[in-house]
Amino acid sequence: MIKIYHFPNTRGLRAIWTCEELNVPYQVEMIDFSPEYRLSPEFLRISPIGKVPVLQDDSITMAESGAMVHYLIDKYGNGKLRPETDNPKYPTYLEWSWFAEATFTSSASEIIRHKRAFPDDINAEVINEFKRRATFCLNALMNFLADKKWLLGEHFSGADIMMGIALTTYARHVAEPFPPIIQNYFDRLSNRPAFLRTKQTES
């Protein structure tokens, strides 16, 4: 059975959500998130950089959430949650999957890291710069979604899972209101039965 090492409100939600959408059995193991445990020889054996999530599937061990989403879809999806590689929408699927993590989430993550590293000396200029970058990303997403239900149109995909957790992270840690188009999209994501089941794993 697939095993996902996770800590609440982290990117492990992507792998859990993907399993829920695909009805793939999995087990979640909540870890001790203390630096002492995450840098212990025990945990570094499965996560060389001491971070979650980690996914184990038989002999496979992965420690990158976006790769987990694509791996699970490719192995267990049976055509669900992604277009075929010769489909004209396949490049869009890839682009928005990685835009969500590499471009959008990176800005929100820098805000989180700055606040954690300097809780008593938060630099407003640094925060505002990364908010500006995140807003630029949100504007691009808003324009792309203007006439769409999901990132690929009428079909929900792994790209939406990637973006959904990116938006969840932003909403939790940056707490800036979304434009209406994105808020409506976020509401659709948040109300999917598989996402609701995903969140129940943390309660």
Are 151 and 131 in the same domain? Answer: yes
Asked if residue 64 lies in contact with residue 18, where contact means CB atoms within 8 angstroms, the answer is no
For residue 36, the model assigns a pLDDT of: 93
Q: Hey, is 97 helix, strand or coil?
A: helix
What's the whole-number mean pLDDT along residues 95-124?
88
Are 95 and 165 in the same domain? Answer: yes
Q: Within 10 A of 9 (CB to CB), how many other CB atoms are there?
A: 14
pTM of the model: 0.95
Instruction: Provide the CATH number for the domain around residue 161.
Output: 1.20.1050.10
Whether 161 maps to a domain, the answer reads: yes
pLDDT band of residue 107 (cuts 50, 70, 90) is: confident
Summarised one tens digit per residue, pLDDT across range 153-185 is 999 999 999 999 999 999 998 878 999 999 999
Whether 123 maps to a domain, the answer reads: yes
For residue 27, the model assigns a pLDDT of: 98
Instruction: Provide the CATH number for the domain around residue 45.
Output: 3.40.30.10
Cis amide bond preceding 91, omega within 30 = no
Q: Hey, is 167 helix, strand or coil?
A: helix
Are 100 and 66 in the same domain? Answer: no
Give the number of domains in the chain. Answer: 2
For residue 39, the model assigns a pLDDT of: 93
Summarised one tens digit per residue, pLDDT across range 25-83 is 999 999 998 989 999 999 999 999 999 999 999 999 999 999 999 999 999 999 999 99
Are 165 and 118 in the same domain? Answer: yes
Cα distances from 123 to residues 21, 109, 129, 164, 173, in angstroms, run 40, 15, 10, 28, 16
Asked if residue 189 lies in contact with residue 195, where contact means CB atoms within 8 angstroms, the answer is yes
Q: What residues have CB less than 8 Å from 135, skipping those under 6 apart?
A: 176
Are 14 and 70 in the same domain? Answer: yes
Whether 199 maps to a domain, the answer reads: no
Are 101 and 183 in the same domain? Answer: yes
- Both tokens of 105, joined, read 């989430």
Last residue of a domain, one of 24, 46, 81: 81
Are 94 and 160 in the same domain? Answer: yes
Which among 55, 64, 22 has a CA at the least distance from the CA of 197?
22
Residue range(s) defining the domain that contains residue 19: 2-81
Are 74 and 95 in the same domain? Answer: no
